[in-house]
Amino acid sequence: MPELISCGECLVDMVPDERGCFCPHPGGAPANVAVAAARLGVSAAFVGKRGQDPFGELLQQHLGDGGVDTSGFTSTREALTALAFIQYGEGKVPDFRFYRNPGADELLRPQDIPAGLLDAARVFHFGSISLYSEPAAGATRAAADKVRAHGGLVSYDPNLRPALMETRPGALEGARSAIERAHLLKASAEELLQLTGAQQEDRALAHLFDHGVRLVAVTRGADGATMATPSSRVDLSGESVTVVDTTGAGDAFTAALLTGVIERQLGPDDLAGLHEDTVRALGAWANRVAAQSTTQTGATQGVRRPT
């Protein structure tokens, strides 16, 4: 059975090439995490929904070719596979525009998840986009609660997308409501403040710890990352690489961090009391994998175990 289950949106990133033509690349943050974790050697499954269309077939093949268990990745005729058109700003930071009203991923229902798939999961990972509307929100919450109930670790990446949140009333509240379900949380520095409503990072971290989060990773792009528990904080500098595409770098970081947690056999009760050296090692490994992922086009093509 899979050690890591990632749940949420699986969509197609339309990425501009050197001519300005948009080319399809498999994407969706939770799906990226599943593929990246499998590339790093973890047994991973993805839970989500796709349309019965050519883009959905592309995603099905991508996950399967990536070594991901797709028994929980179902299809529907009720909606099309979602698309995200990407444009790059300063520093090659991607800006997303979503085409999904609704997308097939929003139609995930609890009964779509195979009986028993969650029972042996050591880690359940999800993002906030699947919480913006029903029935996907209810299915995601129920799956997280089931894994928590048998002692599994729950990981959360809010992955806030302003362009999408503008079209989903209550999206920020939905993202905030998931904090209490998470043992581990990864966010960018900007997301950390927006998610908690705090004005300062220290207060934002304290808010998360007060709500039960035990390990927080704050990613800062080229400037590295910060790893924090209730008793320690480690700041890591960025890695020097030739950047080609930053799409999915945060997902690569998450996958590497969860891989490190699984390989060390860490459970929810272990996280808050981690020795600072272990926190540093987890963050440095994730930072290195994320940096390497930016050296190729596509969200997961550059993911590999560092030599």
| pLDDT at residue 98 in the model | 87
What is the overall mean pLDDT for the chain?
A: 93
With a cut of 90, say whether residue 209 has pLDDT above it.
Answer: yes
What is the set of active-site residues?
251
| pLDDT at residue 259 in the model | 97
C-beta separation of 49 from 75 below 8 A:
yes
Predicted confidence (pLDDT) per residue in 212-268, tens digit: 999 999 999 889 999 999 999 999 998 888 878 777 899 999 999 999 999 999 999
**Alpha-carbon distances of 37 from 96, 132, 199, 229, 256, rounded to whole Å:** 24, 25, 33, 23, 7
Mean pLDDT on 11-30:
89
| pLDDT above 70 as % of the chain | 98
| pLDDT at residue 304 in the model | 83
CA angle 173, 255, 135 (to 5 degrees): 35
Which structural domains are found in the chain, ordered by start? Answer: 4-293 (3.40.1190.20)
Taking residue 206's Cβ as centre, other Cβ atoms within 10 Å add up to 15
| pLDDT at residue 167 in the model | 82
Decide which of 305 and 284 is more confident: 284
| pLDDT at residue 295 in the model | 77
- Strand, helix or coil for residue 263: helix
| pLDDT at residue 294 in the model | 80
Among 21-25, 288-292, 301-305, which stretch is predicted with the lowest mean pLDDT?
Answer: 301-305
Rounded to whole angstroms, the Cα distance separating 110 from 203 reads 35
**Alpha-carbon distances of 200 from 105, 189, 190, 196, 250, rounded to whole Å:** 34, 10, 11, 10, 22
Rounded to whole angstroms, the Cα distance separating 46 from 10 reads 9
Predicted confidence (pLDDT) per residue in 84-123, tens digit: 898 877 666 677 888 888 999 999 999 999 989 999 899 9
| pLDDT at residue 91 in the model | 63
With a cut of 80, say whether residue 29 has pLDDT above it.
Answer: yes
| pLDDT at residue 303 in the model | 83
**Alpha-carbon distances of 2 from 20, 68, 171, rounded to whole Å:** 39, 9, 30
| pLDDT at residue 26 in the model | 92
Mean pLDDT on 194-219:
97
